[in-house]
Chain A
């Protein structure tokens, strides 16, 4: 390569560099765990870029199983995105590790009542606030209206008791060919947190000790666990989890294999997609247990949040982005069906309630958020609870043994309490 040629290349590069500098862009990086959500958010992101000339948002989404390892690696490298999604399950550990910027100075300027307080409280530690709620979710009871009507069972209402639930489940379990293998079960559940904890909290029970450092399920919690596991083993109105092996758990209800199901409100989209027009369905709150009163029963709900990297060089811009993504400017269509916008004015609208879609009664979810809510999230929650690719372990694994009729509840409780306390004592 001749000298003249080299100079040519070099000056060309310089021109290019100069051109780039002229339209100098501030890059704001943003990462979340829900590619579908990001798709919906694209227009809001464009709006933000238009309102902030020279700012480019570099957004990236990946499923949770990839998101957390990736985010952790970025944190270890000191290279976190400016804004990133944070879950209620992991915020304690991330806050304790110093990976979340304290947003309390920004939040102080806001009208706190404009947001759901339960969703806000999850991000508060001491005087600080380490993330900001984007939306919140809550497990609900899904029920197949068509099946209820066919069996002549009245739809669940706010006064439903566990006995009435059980009677309905019996009536809804149908074995028309008489092979002892029901084509439709009354209910579907396994040891998953979103399947089990709602029953515990609606019975006024607790899984954790008061200081939340130990597993100490109380009598009301045990009563709830007994009730739910008996549905499969004693009453035969719920399939044993092993019977459903090979079917995605979230498809059992929408495929009509069970007439009732308790899981997170975020499943609404999947039920819509899989069930299609094959039957009509609605949602209800999990019935209140015999040991609870209106004062002791708890809702189960938690927030998905946005956090800012502690070393972000543009935290003002990051905060502006968060406010843009969760606040006033958003519309209900920026959120997935089962995710309640944390900004009340967006959630409490007919447009979010979607009365012309199934379920027609999404206010059930809003109603749960208005109650006193609780969770059992602790550091190392995934380990003692059994979550994601470790769902077969911890409390989930032990409860499945009960559901499958291989262990008594006493044995399983003893095992998961001992295991869980071993895990928690190391935190």
Chain B
């Protein structure tokens, strides 16, 4: 009887969160599906266009270009945060002194305000007055690139900032994973004469596989959501060369107020991330034992 009452109270306290979820998350998600079949500028009456937005999207060169940017970005960001995050975690897990200090240090960029972070990076990357280019000139490079304004570099610059900023977060996930590995396994391998590299390659890495898998999925989702660094550093430029899907959705929704098109893009992004996750789940069987 008493426990029943407790359960009822639990529901009561869950109501605010559930209402929030329904009204601010699930509601808009469902509405966006309907909106994606309309032409709607927010202030007027939506006009039904069937699959029009999806067709426009697939026939637009701009869309394919941005999809390509999104893919290239993911191919830099996901391996970037995975390798750097894992590397930092493994180094910190070797029992070096001041490990908590370094752990905090590497995590710091992740919790620093995006505005502060991107202002600093903007200055580092600035063509004429930037720290990076002045350093390169000092080294003897006479004509260093315009990192944020060159279509060959802008996306790479964004991915670099994101990896630097977020690797610390993935490091924490890996650290948690590493602490779940029984140290006696590594000690046994060492006793059997394995080198440090062999211990990492044949003991740590396979046992860390479930964490790695989780990290890759999360990194994939995060890479598809990239917005803040783009907004603050390049606004998608030059000539859309660093625009990825999430930023393109923002442009269409909140600059052009083309909500139908933006909703169609958002659903496509959702499907693509879903597919990539599915592929990962399939492949997982090949490389993860857990």
Contact = CB atoms under 8 A, between A and B. Distances in A.
Contacts of B41: 72, 93, 97
B128 A382 contact: no
Contacts of B151: 406
Interface stretch (B82-90, B214-222, B252-260): B252-260
Contacts of A422: 60
Nearest to A406: B151
B258 to A, nearest CB: 7
A76 B127 contact: no
Contacts of A401: 238-239
Contacts of A400: 237-239
Interface in B211-244: 231, 234-243
B68 interface: no
B237 A389 contact: no
B149 A393 contact: no
Interface string A235-250: 0000001111111000
Most B Cβ at <10 Å: residue of A76, A181, A247, A392: A392
Nearest to B251: A390
Interface stretch (B107-115, B118-126, B160-168): B118-126
7 contacts: A76-B42, A243-B128, A383-B256, A392-B235, A393-B236, A401-B239, A404-B238
Task: Give chain B's interface secondary structure class.
Answer: loop
A247 B129 contact: yes
B127 A242 contact: yes
B148 A391 contact: no
A391 B237 CA distance: 8
A243 B239 CA distance: 16
Nearest to B147: A245
B240 A388 contact: no
Nearest to B234: A392
B127 A389 contact: no
B240 A98 contact: no
B17 to A, nearest CB: 24
Contacts of A387: 255
Interface in A40-70: 68-69
A94 interface: yes
Interface in B139-153: 146-151
Contact of B148 (A97, A98, A181, A245): A245
Contact of B127 (A98, A243, A383, A419): A243
A52 B44 CA distance: 34
B238 A98 contact: no
B148 A397 contact: no
A242 B128 CA distance: 9
B42 A73 contact: yes
A383 B257 CA distance: 10
Contacts of B234: 392
Interface of B: 39, 41-45, 56, 60, 62, 122-123, 125-130, 146-151, 231, 234-243, 250-251, 254-258
Contact of B236 (A99, A247, A390): A390
Given A245-B147, A392-B241, A419-B62, 9 more contacts: A97-B41, A97-B44, A242-B238, A245-B125, A245-B146, A246-B127, A392-B238, A422-B60, A426-B56
A75 B151 CA distance: 38
Contact of A247 (B126, B243, B257): B126
A75 B242 CA distance: 32
Contacts of B258: 380, 383
B264 to A, nearest CB: 13
A62 B258 CA distance: 22
Given A242-B127, A246-B127, A388-B255, A96 B44 contact: yes
Nearest to A407: B239
Nearest to A398: B239
A304 B256 CA distance: 19
A361 B246 CA distance: 46
A246 B122 contact: yes
Nearest to B250: A389
A400 B251 CA distance: 19
A244 B254 contact: no
Contact of A390 (B44, B127, B129, B256): B256
Given A97-B41, A246-B128, A389-B250, A397 B257 contact: no
A392 B123 contact: no
Contacts of A388: 255
A181 to B, nearest CB: 8
Interface in A198-253: 241-247
Contacts of B128: 181, 243-244, 246-247
Given A246-B128, A383-B258, A392 B42 contact: no
Nearest to B150: A242
A387 B251 CA distance: 10
Contacts of B122: 246
A73 B236 CA distance: 25
Nearest to A69: B254
A181 B128 CA distance: 9
B243 A392 contact: yes
Interface string A350-391: 000000000000000000000000000000101100011111
Contact of B238 (A72, A76, A94, A397): A397
Nearest to B129: A246
Given A246-B123, A393-B251, A72 B237 contact: no
A268 B41 CA distance: 34
Nearest to A75: B43
A383 B262 CA distance: 13
Given A246-B148, A382-B256, A422-B60, A392 B237 contact: yes
A93 B258 CA distance: 12
A96 B150 CA distance: 39
A397 B255 contact: no
A258 B62 CA distance: 34
Nearest to B39: A426
B24 to A, nearest CB: 14
A393 B257 contact: no
Contacts of B240: 392-393, 397
B32 to A, nearest CB: 14
B239 A245 contact: no
Given A72-B43, A76-B43, A389 B239 contact: no
Given A382-B256, A397-B240, A404-B238, A75 B42 contact: yes
10 interchain residue pairs of minimum CB distance: A246-B126, A392-B237, A242-B149, A97-B44, A242-B146, A397-B239, A245-B149, A72-B42, A75-B43, A97-B43
